[in-house]
A and B are shown apart, each in its own frame.
Chain A
C-alpha cells in the first residue's frame, strides 16, 4: 500500500475565540478531532449537511483558516504548523474548485488571465509559453481556444466551472479540493463536469477531496467516503461499504432522506419511516454522542459517553456505541482503495430493516 498523500490527525478548527478588544471568549468548534487519509490517485468524498464542518476542513486544508490543533501531514510537511500561510512549494500542490461558478471567477479578468494567473505566480514562463499553456488547459477541459479573450459573464455555469477546473489544473497539483463542484449546476451538466474531473484524475494521478451533500453522487465517484455531523467524522470507509452498509445511524438517516426515483418503493419507505416516532428534536448535544437527540437507536450510554471510532466490518470506522462488540472486536477489514465491488450494480440500497 502506498504512503498517504494527506493524513489529517485529530484536527480541530475553532472559529471566534477572540473578540475585537482582544478579550478571550469561547469559540465555536467547527471541526472536532477529525481524522482523514487520502492516498495518491484516490478520491475521498466528504459528506454532511450544512454546518457539519465539511467546508471548514476544506478551508483549513487550503490554508484559508488556521487549524486550532492536530496535524495535517501533506506530502511530508505538517500543514497545521504553517500558521502564516503556505510556502509556494506547498501551495502549488493543493488547488481548489469551488461551488459557485458565478462568483469564483473574477468578472474583470479574461479567461486567459484567469487560467494563467497561477503560472504567473509560480512559474517563470515567457508570455508566448503561457499563452500556449492556457490554450492547452482549455483543450483539457473541452473548451475551444477562442474563449481565451472572453470574460466570465459570457459563459454558462457549466462552462465557467470548466474554466475554474482549467485554472486549478494549471500547476499540476497533487490534490484538488472540490467544494460542492456541481451542486450549482443543472442535472444535465453535472455529469459532464464529473466525467471531466475523472478523466483528468486518471490522466494525471492526482487526488481529490470531494465535498458534497449528496451521498448518491459521492458514492459513484469516490474511493472512500467520510460522513460528518456537527464537526465529527461519524463514519469513514470504502465508498461501497458506507453506501450499501452504513454503520452509523446518521449515515443511514442521510441515505434514507434522499427520495428514491421509484415512486412505489419510495412510498413504502416513507410509510416505514413515518411509522417511527418523530425526531424533530435538538440537533446538538453538548455531552455524549452528538447525534443522540435525533438517533432512533440511542441507548443510555450515548448520553454520557462520546463514542470512539470503531472498526466496521467491510472496512472503515464509525463513531457509534452500537458497534461496540459484546465480546470480541470485529476484525477491521481494509479493502483496497479504489476497488468497486459487484455491489455497485445492485439497486441503490436496501430497504430499512
Chain B
C-alpha cells in the first residue's frame, strides 16, 4: 500500500462549498412540468382564443341546446346551443385577465404601503392598520359587492374591487416581514454603509419578502379565479352573454338536472388552474435565491475501513464510577440525506463527586453527547452503538418509560440559556415544585416548602418571595440559579451542565461556577460539564475530555492537560486562548476550520489541520494510553503523542 498523502483541502469543508445544488430534482420536475403545461395551455388559449375556438362562443343554435359531448361539439353545448369548448377557451382569456388585474392591483397597492408603514411605524402605521382591520372584519365578498355597487358591475370593475380587497393581505404580509427584518443586523449594516431608507426597503428588505410574497400571489390568483366565478355566478361580475368560467357555472347550475356535464369543464378548469398556480408557486419559492446549503453528503470513505476498525479498548472499571459510557455512536439523518455520524467511539466515565469537562468547538458533538445520555436527541438522531451505564443500569436498554423516570431523578440537566429553559408562563417556584410533586410524590405544601429551601440553597436572597417571581423578572444569573435548583431538586446521581455559564457575564459566571462546586461537595453527584471555554473547564473540572469531530482526542486530569497537552489539537486550542497567547498580533492560529459532520477525514480527523501530520495519520487512530505512559487516566488519539513536544499553557 502506498503511503497516503494528506492534502489539507480534502477535509476542510471544501466539499460542502464547492458542490452546488442541482437546479431541479426529479420529484420537483414531476410537479413543475405538468403545472407549467397547464398554465402555458391557459395562456395560449387566452392569447389565441379566436383562432383556437371551433365556433363563435356567442353563436346560438337553439336546435342543438344542452347536448352532451360529441364529435361536433367536443364538450357539448349549453342552454342556448353555444359550443362549450369555444366558450371555455374564451373564458380562459377572462380568467387570465381577471387574475392578472386583481392580483397585480393587490400587489401594487398592498406591498408598497405595507413596506412603508412597516418601516416607518408610528401614526402612519396605526391609521392604516385600523383601516385594514375594518376591511378584513367584513366578509370579503360583501366588501367586493359594496365596491361593485358603487362602481357598477362588469369584469374590470369587479376585478378592481377584488384587487382592493386582496391588497390588505399583501399589505399585512409586507408589513410583518418588514417588522421582523428591520431588526436584523444586516439592516443595521446597510444603515452603516449609508443606504437610504428607500434603498434599504427596496434593495435589502424587499428581497426577503419575495418567498412569502410568491406564495401569497399564487394563493391570490386562486382566490381571484374563484371570486370571479362567484361574482359572475351571482351576476355582478362578467355579464352574459360574454363567456367566463363563472358565468358558465351559473348556466350549468340552472340546467343541472337537464345536463349535469355542463358543470364539469368550467369546474375542472378552475380547480386545475388554481392547483397548477399554487404548486408552481411553492417550487418557485423554494428555489429563489439563498442558495440552499446541501445536507451533508454521504462520507466518501470506504465503509469497510469503518467496520474493520475495532475502536478504543474498553476503559478499566473503577469502583466509584457513577457513569460509564462505552463506544457510544450517534448518527443523525439530515432531511432527505443519508445518516451521518456526529459522535463516534465515545468512551468516558465519571466517578461520584467528580466533574468531567467535555470541551470542544461547535460541531464537535459535545452537546449531542450530553443529550444522548438523557435520551433527548431530537428527531432524525439515533444512538447506533454503545453502552451508557449509570450506577449499574444500562440506560440505553431501558424502555422509554424507564428512561423518563430516570430523567429528573437520576440524571438532570442545566442548559445554556436560563431565560429560555424556564417556562415564561409559570412562576419559577411552581416549576421546581412541579418536579418534586411528580418525581417524589410530595404534597403541594411539602413541595413548596422544599422549593423555597432549594431556592435559598442556590444563594438567592429572599427565597420565599423570589419563588413567586416569573423568569423574566430575574437576571440571567438568578434564572440560572433557579434552573440549577430545579435540576438538583431530586438529588440526581449525574448532572449534565451544557454551557451553563456561556450566556452570562464573567463576574456572574464565577459565582455560578462557585455554586456548582459547592453543591457538588454537598450532594456528591457526578457532573458532566460541557463547555467550549477551556478556562472555565480549568476552573471547574477534575478531568477533561477534549472533543474534535465527534470523538475524544485527549482525556487527562485537568492539571496534566494544561501542563502537558499530548494532542496537537489540545495544544492548538490552548495557545489560541486569549490569555494563553502572548503578545501582539499575529496571534497563534489553527489553520483551516472544523469540518462539518459528513466531511470528516477517514483517518485522524485533525490531520488536515495538523502541523505534525505524518503519513500514518491517514488511518483511523484509537484513543490509547501511548507507549511510555501507563497512566490509565491519560489517553490520546494521536499516533505521535509520545514523540511530540507540544507547548503547554501559559
Q: Residues of A with Cβ closer than 8 Å to B?
A: 49-50, 62-64, 86, 88, 91-92, 94-96, 98-100, 103-109, 117-118, 121-122, 147, 150-151, 153-159, 164, 167, 170-171, 186-192, 194-195, 198-199, 213-214, 216-217, 219-221, 253-254, 256-264, 266, 270, 273-274, 280, 340, 344-345, 347-348
- Closest chain B CB from A148 CB (angstroms): 12
Whether A266 lies near B594 (C-beta < 8 A) is no
22 contacts between A and B (CB under 8 A): A50-B505, A62-B191, A92-B194, A95-B192, A96-B188, A100-B185, A106-B208, A151-B291, A153-B293, A187-B534, A188-B590, A199-B586, A257-B506, A259-B513, A261-B574, A262-B538, A270-B539, A274-B514, A280-B511, A340-B583, A345-B582, A348-B650
Question: Considering the chains assembled together, what is the distance between the CA atoms of A262 and B563 in angstroms?
Answer: 8
Tell me, yes or no, whether B315 is within 8 Å of chain A by CB. no
Question: Considering the chains assembled together, what is the distance between the CA atoms of A237 and B195 in angstroms?
Answer: 35
Question: Considering the chains assembled together, what is the distance between the CA atoms of A323 and B538 in angstroms?
Answer: 34
Given contacts A49-B506, A187-B573, A257-B507, contact A121 B583 (CB under 8 A): no
- Nearest opposing residue in chain A for B191, CB measure: A64
Question: Considering the chains assembled together, what is the distance between the CA atoms of A60 and B139 in angstroms?
Answer: 48
Task: Tell me which of B291, B510, B588, B649 contacts A153 (CB under 8 A).
Answer: B291
Residues of chain A within 8 A (CB-CB) of B461 are 280
Residues of chain B within 8 A (CB-CB) of A155 are 17
Task: Tell me which of A106, A188, A219 contacts B186 (CB under 8 A).
Answer: A106
Whether A221 lies near B585 (C-beta < 8 A) is yes
In the complex, chain B residues 177-232 whose Cβ is within 8 Å of any chain A Cβ:
184-186, 188-195, 199, 203-204, 207-208, 210
Residues of chain A within 8 A (CB-CB) of B577 are 187, 261
In the complex, chain B residues 544-601 whose Cβ is within 8 Å of any chain A Cβ:
558-559, 562, 572-574, 576-590, 593-594
Whether B538 lies near A340 (C-beta < 8 A) is no
Whether B593 lies near A189 (C-beta < 8 A) is yes
Residues of chain B within 8 A (CB-CB) of A153 are 290-293
Among B289, B586, B593, the one with the most A-chain Cβ atoms within 10 Å of its Cβ is B593
- Nearest opposing residue in chain A for B579, CB measure: A216
- Closest chain A CB from B149 CB (angstroms): 38
Tell me, yes or no, whether B10 is within 8 Å of chain A by CB. no
Whether B505 lies near A260 (C-beta < 8 A) is no
Tell me, yes or no, whether B535 is within 8 Å of chain A by CB. yes
Task: Tell me which of A106, A157, A216, A344 contacts B584 (CB under 8 A).
Answer: A344
Whether B583 lies near A345 (C-beta < 8 A) is yes
Q: Mark B247-280, 1 if CB is under 8 A from A, else 0.
A: 0000000000000000000000000000000000
Whether A195 lies near B587 (C-beta < 8 A) is yes
Whether A261 lies near B588 (C-beta < 8 A) is no
Count residues of B near A (Cβ-Cβ below 8 Å).
Answer: 68
Question: Considering the chains assembled together, what is the distance between the CA atoms of A103 and B189 in angstroms?
Answer: 10
Residues of chain B within 8 A (CB-CB) of A151 are 289-291
* 4 A-B pairs with the lowest CB-CB distances in the bound complex, closest first: A108-B207, A151-B291, A259-B539, A91-B194
- Nearest opposing residue in chain A for B183, CB measure: A103
Residues of chain A within 8 A (CB-CB) of B513 are 259
Question: Considering the chains assembled together, what is the distance between the CA atoms of A131 and B81 in angstroms?
Answer: 65
Question: Considering the chains assembled together, what is the distance between the CA atoms of A261 and B361 in angstroms?
Answer: 17
- Nearest opposing residue in chain A for B535, CB measure: A259
Whether B562 lies near A261 (C-beta < 8 A) is yes
Tell me, yes or no, whether B13 is within 8 Å of chain A by CB. yes
Residues of chain B within 8 A (CB-CB) of A192 are 589
Residues of chain B within 8 A (CB-CB) of A164 are 189
Whether A64 lies near B539 (C-beta < 8 A) is no
Question: Considering the chains assembled together, what is the distance between the CA atoms of A154 and B18 in angstroms?
Answer: 9
Q: Mark B432-465, 1 if CB is under 8 A from A, else 0.
A: 0000000000000000000000000001010000
Question: Considering the chains assembled together, what is the distance between the CA atoms of A64 and B186 in angstroms?
Answer: 13
Among B193, B210, B589, B650, the one with the most A-chain Cβ atoms within 10 Å of its Cβ is B193
- Nearest opposing residue in chain B for A281, CB measure: B461
Question: Considering the chains assembled together, what is the distance between the CA atoms of A260 and B539 in angstroms?
Answer: 7
Given contacts A151-B289, A154-B17, contact A262 B590 (CB under 8 A): no
- Nearest opposing residue in chain B for A219, CB measure: B578
Whether B585 lies near A344 (C-beta < 8 A) is no
- Closest chain A CB from B357 CB (angstroms): 11
Q: Residues of B with Cβ closer than 8 Å to A?
A: 13, 16-17, 184-186, 188-195, 199, 203-204, 207-208, 210, 289-293, 361-362, 459, 461, 505-507, 509-511, 513-514, 532, 534-536, 538-539, 558-559, 562, 572-574, 576-590, 593-594, 649-650
Task: Tell me which of B191, B195, B586 contacts A198 (CB under 8 A).
Answer: B586
Whether B186 lies near A103 (C-beta < 8 A) is yes
Given contacts A104-B185, A220-B587, A261-B562, contact A188 B190 (CB under 8 A): no
Residues of chain B within 8 A (CB-CB) of A258 are 506, 535, 579
Whether B587 lies near A259 (C-beta < 8 A) is no
Whether A261 lies near B534 (C-beta < 8 A) is yes
- Closest chain A CB from B461 CB (angstroms): 7
Whether A266 lies near B194 (C-beta < 8 A) is no
- Nearest opposing residue in chain B for A86, CB measure: B194
Whether A105 lies near B186 (C-beta < 8 A) is yes
Whether A121 lies near B189 (C-beta < 8 A) is no
Residues of chain B within 8 A (CB-CB) of A91 are 192-194
Question: Considering the chains assembled together, what is the distance between the CA atoms of A263 and B357 in angstroms?
Answer: 13
Whether B579 lies near A195 (C-beta < 8 A) is no
Residues of chain B within 8 A (CB-CB) of A194 are 585, 587
- Closest chain A CB from B627 CB (angstroms): 26
Residues of chain A within 8 A (CB-CB) of B579 are 216, 258, 260-261, 348
- Nearest opposing residue in chain A for B507, CB measure: A257
Whether A108 lies near B208 (C-beta < 8 A) is yes
Question: Considering the chains assembled together, what is the distance between the CA atoms of A208 and B509 in angstroms?
Answer: 28
Task: Tell me which of A118, A191, A347 contacts B194 (CB under 8 A).
Answer: A118
- Nearest opposing residue in chain A for B540, CB measure: A259
Question: Considering the chains assembled together, what is the distance between the CA atoms of A117 and B186 in angstroms?
Answer: 12
Given contacts A257-B509, A280-B459, contact A118 B207 (CB under 8 A): no
- Closest chain A CB from B646 CB (angstroms): 14
Question: Considering the chains assembled together, what is the distance between the CA atoms of A194 and B585 in angstroms?
Answer: 8
Whether B649 lies near A261 (C-beta < 8 A) is yes
- Closest chain A CB from B91 CB (angstroms): 38
Among A103, A122, A147, A188, the one with the most B-chain Cβ atoms within 10 Å of its Cβ is A188
What would 13 more interface pairs be, CB under 8 Å, given A104-B186, A187-B573, A259-B535?
A: A108-B289, A117-B193, A154-B293, A156-B13, A186-B594, A188-B572, A189-B593, A198-B584, A198-B585, A221-B585, A261-B562, A344-B582, A345-B583
- Closest chain A CB from B500 CB (angstroms): 14
Whether A195 lies near B505 (C-beta < 8 A) is no
- Nearest opposing residue in chain B for A266, CB measure: B539
Residues of chain B within 8 A (CB-CB) of A261 are 534-535, 538, 562, 574, 577, 579-580, 649-650
Residues of chain A within 8 A (CB-CB) of B532 are 186-187
Whether A195 lies near B589 (C-beta < 8 A) is yes
Whether A220 lies near B509 (C-beta < 8 A) is no
Task: Tell me which of A86, A157, A254, A260 contacts B506 (CB under 8 A).
Answer: A254
Question: Considering the chains assembled together, what is the distance between the CA atoms of A258 and B579 in angstroms?
Answer: 9
Among A153, A154, A266, A270, the one with the most B-chain Cβ atoms within 10 Å of its Cβ is A154
Whether A121 lies near B194 (C-beta < 8 A) is yes
- Nearest opposing residue in chain A for B596, CB measure: A156
- Closest chain B CB from A222 CB (angstroms): 10
Task: Tell me which of B191, B539, B573 contacts A263 (CB under 8 A).
Answer: B539
Task: Tell me which of A62, A92, A99, A263 contacts B562 (CB under 8 A).
Answer: A263
Question: Considering the chains assembled together, what is the distance between the CA atoms of A172 and B185 in angstroms?
Answer: 21
Whether A106 lies near B207 (C-beta < 8 A) is yes
Residues of chain A within 8 A (CB-CB) of B650 are 261-262, 347-348
Given contacts A188-B361, A220-B584, A280-B511, contact A260 B185 (CB under 8 A): no
Whether B207 lies near A260 (C-beta < 8 A) is no
Whether B361 lies near A186 (C-beta < 8 A) is yes
Given contacts A195-B587, A259-B538, contact A95 B193 (CB under 8 A): yes
Among B189, B505, B509, B513, the one with the most A-chain Cβ atoms within 10 Å of its Cβ is B189
- Nearest opposing residue in chain B for A150, CB measure: B291
Question: Considering the chains assembled together, what is the distance between the CA atoms of A118 and B192 in angstroms?
Answer: 9
- Closest chain A CB from B448 CB (angstroms): 24
- Nearest opposing residue in chain A for B288, CB measure: A108
